[in-house]
Amino acid sequence: MKILGIDPGYGITGFGLIEADRGQYRLLSCGAITTPPNTDFSWRLGVIYNDMTQLLQVAQPEAVAIEELFFGQNVTTGIKVAQSRGVVLLATQQAGVPLFEYKPAQVKQAVVGYGNASKHQVQDMTRRLLRLAEVPKPDDAADAVAIALCHARSSTSLLGRIQEQT
């Protein structure tokens, strides 16, 4: 199964495309959709939407996994990230690709086995699971790869299969 993981943002939206087959994982590609600072926000959203649409056409994933938002201290930033996430959701829905959403703790639990794992632990385990020489760059891409791995590991669990049957 080809899974596209997305770490949404308005300056940098990370993506990671993996192939998962019977507990074996392979990184196909990863990178980031970037928009320049100090440009019109609606234009930035357009860039993210257009690039995401193109990425979905080229990658042809069977599933898209995206991180749910975590609002920290800066609500203004959170709102802009939410808008960016919205255009990613729209592009995914229009492409007809099944979408799955995961909380940050779920990603950490699925990848590391501990819901309060550090960013470094998640990145290192991502590298190990994919048998990579180093952690994918930039960090947003590494996060997106971890989100894709979360879906791969969660969707093949017994609980995931039981939920599909009901």
Tens-place pLDDT, residues 94-117: 999 999 999 999 999 999 999 999
User: Residue 27 in 3-state DSSP?
Assistant: strand
* Both structure tokens of 110: 């699925």
7-46 pLDDT, tens digit per residue, is 999 999 999 999 999 889 999 999 999 999 999 999 999 9
Residue 51 is among the residues annotated as catalytic for this protein = no
* Domain spanning 2-165, CATH class: alpha beta
Q: How far apart are CA 111 and CA 127, in angstroms?
A: 10
Q: What is the pTM of this model?
A: 0.90
Catalytic residue chosen out of the listed positions 19, 67, 68, 164: 67
Confidence band, pLDDT 50/70/90 cuts, at residue 73: low
- Indicate the domain borders of the chain: 2-165
Closest CA to 151 of 102, 95, 93, 88: 102
**From 68, 124, 140, 164, active-site residue:** 140
Q: Which of 7, 40, 134, 139 is catalytic?
A: 7
